Amino acid sequence: MLELYQAEGCPYSKKVREHMQALGLSYVAHNPRTHGGEVRDEEAHEELLDRGGKDQIPFLVDPESDESRYESDRIVEYLDEHYA
């Protein structure tokens, strides 16, 4: 299942969430920190850093293809290529 590291108040995360919903995709949302950078979930924040290497959201992980992406536009492109 797709995993999205995101923040509720982040407009870039919202763009990805809405696109995933429009495509009818199931995903798990992780909220490691706020849009402003305040860590809210230490475990999810550590996973974000371990998996991607950066404290940047949104971050998509696709375990099926072993792919991951930062940046909302790149994530949307990836979703369109593989799931549309």
Residue-level pLDDT at 81? 97
What is the distance between the alpha carbons of residues 39 and 64, in angstroms, rounded to a whole number? 28
pLDDT digits (tens, 9 = 90+) for 3-56: 999 999 999 999 999 999 999 999 999 999 999 999 999 999 999 999 999 999
Among the listed residues 45, 79, 74, the one whose alpha carbon sits nearest the alpha carbon of residue 62:
79
Residue-level pLDDT at 35? 92
Strands (E), the chain: 2-5, 27-30, 59-62, 67-70
DSSP state for residue 36 in the 8-state scheme: T
